[in-house]
Amino acid sequence: MSDAVQSDVIVVGGGLAGMAAAVALAEDGANVSLLERRPEIGGRAYSYLHPTLEETVDSQHVVLGCCTNLLDLCAKAGTSEAIRWYDELVFLEPGGRRSLMKSGLLPAPSHQTISFLRAPMLGVRDKLGIATGLMEFLRGYPADDTESFATWLKRTRQTDRAIRHFWEPVVVGALNDGFERCSTKYAGKVFHESFLRSPEGGRLGIPSAPLSEFLSPIAEHATQIGATVKRKSGVERIEQAGDGQWRVIVDGEEHRAASVILATNFKEAQRLLHDLPGAALDFDPFVAAPITTIHLWYDRDVTALDHAVLLDTRIQWVFAKSRIRRWKAEQGSYLELVISASWPELQLGRQEILASALRELELFFPSIRGAKLLKSAVLKEARATYSVTPGLDRFRPKQQTQYPGLYLAGDWTATEWPSTMEGAVRSGRLAAGTVVEKTNRFMAAEAPAAGLMRWLSH
């Protein structure tokens, strides 16, 4: 077709993977078009104006100091200032007893040891088991991903309380699935990076603005450096023309480029690849996992904490978004409760989820009974992440495909990271690097190891 829109590279999908790829290639001087199906960019990391509540809502996303590629992309787009950093993690038991995990004076990997030894949520036997278990991740994490974390917990004889109060909140929170469906490799990676390698790598960052506000500067940056970002442009199909160029069809309009990066989720990648001759990827092993969040607006301040891990409940995290966003006292407060791996909640009605969450919340914050709940919302994200099931690595494709000029990106492709924003950005940068035949060209440096970990970790 003579009136096809021509680019050097077309990126399909404006999530973090697609945006990272578009920025990298546009910076490199390529003529890049990014096509996004929805009216807003950000993919699963998005916020929107709730139609009945008239509040902008999102499902809270957090980052760690070791997410170097995401942080680098945020810095390029000038949005890093919106991340609020925390050096301590509060674990709350029903009744309100607190345990703190925070960095102290000892060098890595022992920087959290003092607070760990003091934590009342664990007994001596639990702590000994945890310390012995963590030793396995001192040097890194297993290269092989076939062992489940459930098997690892049995093999290292973890106590029931250590599992409930330590391994579970961290692993289920970070990998969004139960132990049977998480490989030891990725659980080990979480502990190595966030507890052992360095205090900086384990810092918790929380965006203080709604996600679309936080991430849209990345799309603006892409545009400023020359990329064309087209929203409401759902790609119907892709095919290779006789001259080797790729034809990308959007609403009957044809776009053409020598290179195409498919940066959609795995379901959509499966659909778009389906009609290509000899398509050989196996998508069956990918399992999507849900997250449910409960949003509560109260007439007054209800906690002095910005966020906390809740133990022995369905709710795993509470984020006091009004505090993170520095609301004034007269604005009341806004809490978000997060239930990871929320398959049971997918079957429940919103009222039922809300009633149970409110009951649980009172166990931790009894004073909340005196506050007036002004409005509430329950958001179910059925396909929030995919699970890093044991053995999945074999099925996660590299960014290079069997088709010349066609590349894959997305948190589900091979990155050595689980389903996260960092994994998405890495995949986009790896895909961009593959386009220019220098795979690691756009990758940020890893967070450096600190203290004794400079010699211990590889």
Ligand X SMILES: Cc1cc2nc3c(=O)[nH]c(=O)nc-3n(C[C@H](O)[C@H](O)[C@H](O)COP(=O)(O)OP(=O)(O)OC[C@H]3O[C@@H](n4cnc5c(N)ncnc54)[C@H](O)[C@@H]3O)c2cc1C
Q: According to the binding rule CB under 6 A, does residue 414 interact with ligand X?
A: no
Q: According to the binding rule CB under 6 A, does residue 321 interact with ligand X?
A: no
Number of residues that bind ligand X (CB under 6 A): 34
CB-based contact 194:309 (threshold 8 Å): no
Least distance (Å) between residue 85 CB and ligand X: 15
If the CB atoms of residues 10 and 121 are measured against ligand X, the closer one turns out to be: 10
Tokens 């999908």 correspond to 13
- 394 burial (CB, 10 Å; 0-12 / 13-18 / 19+) is exposed
Least distance (Å) between residue 329 CB and ligand X: 28
Binders of ligand X among 241-270, rule CB under 6 A? 263-265, 268
Least distance (Å) between residue 354 CB and ligand X: 17
Residue 219 DSSP label: H
CB-based contact 245:9 (threshold 8 Å): no
Candidates 38, 43, 54; CA nearest to 18 is 43
If the CB atoms of residues 127 and 185 are measured against ligand X, the closer one turns out to be: 185
Instruction: Report the residue from 107, 234, 285, 366 that binds ligand X according to the rule CB under 6 A.
Output: 234
If the CB atoms of residues 348 and 363 are measured against ligand X, the closer one turns out to be: 348
Binders of ligand X among 9-68, rule CB under 6 A? 12-18, 35-38, 43-45, 59, 61-62
Candidates 231, 232, 250; CA nearest to 1 is 250
Least distance (Å) between residue 61 CB and ligand X: 4
Instruction: Taking the CA atoms of 41, 44, 46 and 51 in sequence, report the sign of the dihedral they define.
Output: positive
Q: According to the binding rule CB under 6 A, does residue 194 interact with ligand X?
A: no
Binders of ligand X among 350-409, rule CB under 6 A? 381, 384-385
Q: Integer distance in angstroms from the first to the last C-alpha of the chain?
A: 52
* Cα–Cα distance list, 378 to 40, 59, 75, 385, 446 (Å): 21, 10, 32, 18, 37
If the CB atoms of residues 113 and 228 are measured against ligand X, the closer one turns out to be: 228
Which residues of the shown chain bind ligand X in the complex (CB under 6 A)?
12-18, 35-38, 43-45, 59, 61-62, 234-235, 263-265, 268, 291, 381, 384-385, 410-411, 419-422, 424
